[in-house]
């Protein structure tokens, strides 16, 4: 699988570069520019001094979050915080902060735009969090995550007013960057062999057929290879070994039993050895390169110019301790 190291950057690109294409719509561009300009002014003035920060917290009961250039999610979090303040404390609290900090006030239309922006980008942010995980996620999570994300955006597109150009740009971006992946039999098979998903993540029978055909063909190959290995062994040592080999019919029965099993944990796979073996093969990789990026980022923080003479063993120990400090 070569898609694992491109899926996460592609998702980031959809949420940034492709999302910006919504500004082709002149009405959206004008509203977006004016709203985000006021947000930037508020973020800058509220973070200039401790007094301004305390004033914001006193009026809004929450601190504002200032976005950073290195993480897209920080922009979503910052917008979401403004929307939360408006929802919980009312528009008056935010207007009071803007007045005291001498920042331009938001109009009702701009506040409605921020609410729709946060609602639209919320599933995108959650999908990014899923794909950049490294403990309970495998390659089989990629296709269901993107499929479900597209479905959520399509539902939002029906009821959206101010954010319709943004949703259209996101859907176009996902189609361009993930269209081939969503029809890749290997990735679909990997998703089906994750007990959490099986075949419930899509209603498209053609997509499921691609994955199931891939699984059946590879299960048959496994059974045939086992039988051929048994026939090549010596008669004295493995005279009855062929009786223990799995036949193609048995592997098909295992697949049907797996799909009909109500459990959704990894333990379910252990009851179906042939299916489990193929699942481990297809799901051995992570669906994103975020874990590798974090590794190199932490390594760069340790291996600074003043510590250029650090030994390899010491460096490795410090890296492992830093990455596993949460555990």
Per-10-residue mean pLDDT for the chain, 327 residues long?
53 75 91 94 90 90 86 87 94 92 94 94 90 83 94 91 91 89 94 93 94 91 60 53 56 86 85 90 83 83 83 88 77
Contact predicate 274/219, CB 8 Å: yes
Q: Specify the pLDDT at position 93.
A: 92
* Exposed / middle / buried, residue 128 (Cβ in 10 Å: 0-12, 13-18, 19+): buried
C-alpha distances in Å from residue 263, one per residue of 14, 171, 195, 196, 258:
34, 33, 7, 8, 9
Q: How far apart are CA 119 and CA 152, in angstroms?
A: 11
Please tell me whether residue 311 adopts helix, strand or coil conformation: coil
Contact predicate 261/192, CB 8 Å: no
Please tell me whether residue 246 adopts helix, strand or coil conformation: coil
* Exposed / middle / buried, residue 74 (Cβ in 10 Å: 0-12, 13-18, 19+): middle
Q: How far apart are CA 165 and CA 213, in angstroms?
A: 38
Helix locations, the chain, DSSP H: 4-13, 19-20, 26-46, 50-60, 72-89, 91-100, 108-131, 142-159, 164-178, 185-192, 205-232, 235-238, 248-260, 273-282, 290-302, 312-323
C-alpha distances in Å from residue 183, one per residue of 178, 189, 204:
9, 10, 11
C-alpha distances in Å from residue 89, one per residue of 9, 25, 53, 59, 314:
37, 32, 17, 9, 51
C-alpha distances in Å from residue 146, one per residue of 5, 71, 153, 174, 175:
15, 20, 11, 8, 10
Contact predicate 109/254, CB 8 Å: no
| Residue among 172, 93, 80 nearest 126 (CA) | 80
Q: Specify the pLDDT at position 241.
A: 55
DSSP string, 133-156: --SS--GGGHHHHHHHHHHHHHHH
* Exposed / middle / buried, residue 231 (Cβ in 10 Å: 0-12, 13-18, 19+): exposed
Question: Quick one: tokens of 130?
Answer: 């899923």
Query: Can you say whether the dihedral through the CA atoms of 83, 87, 89, 90 is positive or negative?
Result: positive
Q: What are the sequence ranges of the domains in the chain?
A: 4-183, 187-282, 290-323
Q: Specify the pLDDT at position 114.
A: 95
Q: Specify the pLDDT at position 327.
A: 58
Taking the CA atoms of residue 56, residue 57, residue 60 and residue 65 in that order, the dihedral angle to the nearest 10 degrees is 80
End-to-end Cα spacing for the chain = 30
């Amino acid at each position: 699988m070569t898609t694992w190291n491109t899926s996460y950057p592609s998702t980031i690109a959809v949420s940034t570069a492709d999302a910006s294409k919504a500004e082709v719509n002149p009405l959206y561009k004008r509203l977006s520019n004016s709203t985000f300009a006021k947000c930037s002014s508020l973020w800058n003035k509220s973070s200039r001094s401790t007094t301004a920060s305390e004033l914001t917290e006193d009026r809004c009961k929450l601190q504002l979050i200032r976005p950073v250039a290195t993480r897209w999610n920080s922009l979503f979090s910052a917008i979401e915080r403004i929307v939360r303040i408006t929802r919980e404390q009312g528009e008056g609290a935010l207007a009071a902060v803007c007045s005291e900090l001498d920042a331009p006030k938001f109009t009702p239309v701009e506040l409605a735009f921020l609410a729709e922006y946060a609602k639209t980008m919320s599933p995108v942010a959650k999908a990014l969090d899923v794909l950049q995980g490294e403990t309970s996620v495998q390659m089989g999570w990629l296709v269901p995550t993107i499929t479900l994300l597209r479905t959520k955006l399509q539902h939002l597109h029906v009821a959206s007013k101010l954010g319709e150009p943004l949703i259209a740009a996101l859907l176009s971006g996902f189609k361009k960057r993930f269209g081939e992946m969503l029809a890749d039999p290997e990735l679909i098979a990997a998703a089906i062999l994750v007990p959490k998903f099986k075949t419930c993540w899509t209603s498209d029978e053609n997509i499921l057929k691609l994955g199931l055909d891939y699984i059946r063909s590879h299960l048959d190959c496994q059974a045939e290879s086992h039988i051929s290995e048994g026939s090549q062994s010596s008669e004295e040592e493995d005279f009855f070994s062929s009786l223990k080999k799995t036949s193609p019919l048995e592997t098909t029965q295992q697949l049907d039993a797996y799909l009909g099993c109500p459990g959704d944990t990894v333990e379910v796979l252990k009851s179906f050895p042939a299916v489990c073996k193929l699942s481990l093969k297809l799901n051995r990789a992570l669906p994103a390169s975020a874990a590798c990026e974090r590794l190199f980022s932490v390594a760069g923080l340790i291996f600074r110019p003043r510590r250029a003479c650090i030994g390899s063993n010491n460096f490795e120990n410090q890296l492992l301790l830093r990455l596993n400090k949460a555990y």
